[in-house]
Amino acid sequence: MNFFDKLNRNILQNQSLLFVGLDPNPEMMPTRYESEDIIAGLGEWLEFIISQTSDFVCAYKPTLGFYEALGIPGLQLLQKTLTAIPSHIPVILDAKHSDLNTSNIFARTVFTEWQVDAITLSPYTGQDHVVPFLVYPDKAVFILCCTSNPGAEALQQYPTKESPLYLQIVKESKNWGTPEQLGLEVGTTNSEVLATIRGIAPERIIMARSIWAEGANLRQILEAGLNTNGDGLLIPVPQDMLGSPQLSQEIQSLHTEINQIKTEIIHENSTCSVWFSDVCLLNQHPQQNLILQLYDIGCIMFGNFVQASGAVFPYYIDLRKIISNPQVFNQVLTAYEEILKNLNFDRLAGIPYGSLPTATGLALRLNCPMIFPRKEVKAHGTRRVIEGNFHPGEIVVVVDDILISGKSVMEGAEKLESAGLNVNDIVVFIDHEQGVKDRLQQNGYRGHAVLTISEITNTLYQAGRINDEQFLAFNES
């Protein structure tokens, strides 16, 4: 079960959006747990918190820094605390990890040895830093996009309050992983900040922080952060509540208050944004609605666009936007799945970086292990060409988004083969045609595509989405 399924199951089971920070902070530890053995006292306190809250929360969030500050005994306490958490409740490790060089080994440690379900990451080193954590298809990451720390305002609000850095982080990180892989961590007491982020990322889980400042309005926070379905927002249990001997009663009261406000908000805003087709063609393409949606959300554009190869095309395809539209992304995965279910393979391989979210979504759907060939081999760390676990001799199907010249996907296939894997089939979403499949076949690969560019253009022209000039420009290219 992947992280978001596990999280949603607990949200439904406990009817709760609450999560608890399991932080062994000696300064916050109740006096009743003080003793000569500070580690033992902290351990007893954390066990008490878990026992009192497990029926009323959807997740736990231990902060790695507190355990590290206690040295080796602190890391041992972390292991003990993780063991004490009921296995059905997801664990989000608050690490704010930011070191690119240690990403691979750290991801392996937290996900395979510590068995946590998700981790918080700093975005500053970009997608390269996040990718090693996304190759674990049943795990997830939360990207820190803003904090409530006043000293960070000069950075987070740069260059202007109208277009601040933290909003750019939200926009960019949406291209790094699917909604099932990647959520956002938002520390703020300002409901307007939360509402702006929700507007940009309606499909993402938001883990709220720092919302309990004096004068904070819980209803405004929920109105700003909940998605159109009335969920998608995780609320922290106030830190000072965790020291109460009557923790169970207090968290029940907070649980009830949040659910009551949530119910009222859902009732007041009972709408659902769904795309509906506005055309009816006699000779309808099987993927007509998907093609129209891709055009309507800006994945397909017409004009004069310079490609990476230097060639100028009268159109441009940007499939990275689909991960921000669950309705479309689900249909794209289904279309890939129709091809993949007829192929023979042991593992899926996505080509970085564009197809990694799609490959991960397919790995989850098909319950199939995923790997990927690196774009470049780093001069540090493990220097691996292939990320993920595999065995030489296995058959790998390569998944990519767009087939233009075939160069990048064949280079990826060759890297897989250099590691002793066998590649027979390459599956893409869009084939730009012009003999690319023939080039694949000449190199020993069978090419498969959900759509061709001519199918897309013909459908858009028949539906009136593009005019005669745009259609002719395509046919002349």
In sequence order, which residues have a C-beta less than 8 Å from that of residue 366 and are 6 or more positions away?
Answer: 337, 340, 341, 348
Asked if residue 321 belongs to a known ligand binding site, the reply is no
Asked if residue 378 belongs to a known ligand binding site, the reply is yes
Asked if residue 266 belongs to a known ligand binding site, the reply is no
Strands 370-373 and 386-387: antiparallel
Q: How many CB atoms sit inside 10 A of residue 240's CB?
A: 9
Catalytic hit among 6, 61, 80, 96? 96
Question: Tokens 């996900």 — which residue?
Answer: 111
Asked if residue 400 belongs to a known ligand binding site, the reply is yes
DSSP-assigned beta bridge partners for residue 173: none
For 454-460, which contacts have Cβ atoms below 8 Å and span 24 or more sequence positions? 455/285, 455/287, 455/291, 456/291, 456/294, 456/300, 456/430, 457/315, 458/285, 459/281, 459/285, 459/288, 459/291, 459/292, 460/291, 460/292, 460/295, 460/300
Asked if residue 403 belongs to a known ligand binding site, the reply is yes
Reduced to 3 states (helix: H, G, I; strand: E, B; else coil), residue 83 is: helix
Task: Say if residues 208 and 179 touch (Cβ distance below 8 Å).
Answer: no
Asked if residue 401 belongs to a known ligand binding site, the reply is yes
Asked if residue 371 belongs to a known ligand binding site, the reply is no
Phi (first) and psi of residue 302, to 5 degrees: -120, 140
Distance, in Å, from the CA atom of 84 to the CA atom of 90, rounded to the nearest integer, reads 12
The reply to whether 161 belongs to the active site is: no
Nearest of 259, 267, 264 to residue 56 by alpha carbon: 259
Asked if residue 119 belongs to a known ligand binding site, the reply is no
Residues across the chain: 477
Asked if residue 219 belongs to a known ligand binding site, the reply is no
Which residues are annotated as part of the binding site?
374-375, 378, 380, 400-408
Give the active site residues.
96
Which residues are annotated as part of the binding site for 5-phospho-alpha-D-ribose 1-diphosphate?
374-375, 378, 380, 400-408
